[in-house]
Amino acid sequence: MRLGDVEIQVVLDSRKQETLAAVMRSGGEQVSSSVPQGKSKGEREAYSVSPREALEHFSSIKTALLKKEFNCLEEFDNFLLHLDGTKDKHNLGGNLLLVLSQTFARLLAKLKRKELWQLLREEMIRIAPDLRRRFYWRKFFKKEAPLFLFNLINGGEHAVYGPKFQEYLIVPVLNNPCDSLALGKFFFSKLKQYFWDEYKKQDFGDEGGLLIPESFYEKPLEIYSVIREKLHLKNKVRFALDVAASTFYDKQRKVYYLFPSKVISAKELLEVYREIIARYNLISLEDPFEENAWEDFSKITSFCRRKTVIIGDDLIVTNPTLLQRAVAEKAITGVIVKPTQIGTVTETLKTIILAQRKRIKIIVSHRSGETTDNFIADLAWAAGAWGLKAGAPQPEERMVKYNRIIEIYKKQAEFKILL
> What is the bridge-based pairing of β-strands 255-256 and 284-286?
unpaired
Contact 289, 296 (CB under 8 A): yes
Length of the chain, please?
A: 419
* H runs (alpha helix) in 263-374: 266-280, 294-304, 320-328, 339-342, 345-357
Sign of CA dihedral 7, 10, 15, 16: negative
Catalytic residues, by residue number, are 207, 338
* CATH class for the region spanning 130-415: alpha beta
Q: Tell me phi and psi for residue 257, to 5 degrees.
A: -95, 65
Q: What is the pLDDT along the chain (419 residues), one digit of tens a residue?
A: 899 999 999 999 999 999 999 999 999 999 999 999 987 777 899 999 999 999 999 999 999 999 999 999 999 999 999 999 999 999 999 999 999 999 999 999 999 999 999 999 999 999 998 887 654 555 555 567 999 999 999 999 999 999 999 999 999 999 999 999 999 999 999 999 999 999 999 999 999 999 999 999 999 999 999 999 999 999 999 999 999 999 999 999 999 999 988 899 999 999 999 999 999 999 999 999 999 999 999 999 999 977 999 999 999 999 999 999 999 999 999 999 999 999 999 999 999 999 999 999 999 999 999 999 999 999 999 999 999 999 999 999 999 999 999 999 999 877 654 44
β-bridge pairing 237-242 and 284-286: parallel
**Burial (CB count <10 Å: 0-12, 13-18, 19+), residue 32:** middle
The pTM score is: 0.96
Q: Which residues are paired to 34 by β-bridges?
A: 21
Looking at 1.10.3720.10, 3.20.20.70, 3.30.390.10, 2.60.40.420, the CATH number of the domain 5-127 comes to 3.30.390.10
- Listed by start position, the domains of the chain span 5-127, 130-415
Query: Angle CA(31)–CA(32)–CA(37) in degrees, nearest 5?
Result: 155
**Closest C-alpha among 283, 250, 270 to residue 148:** 283
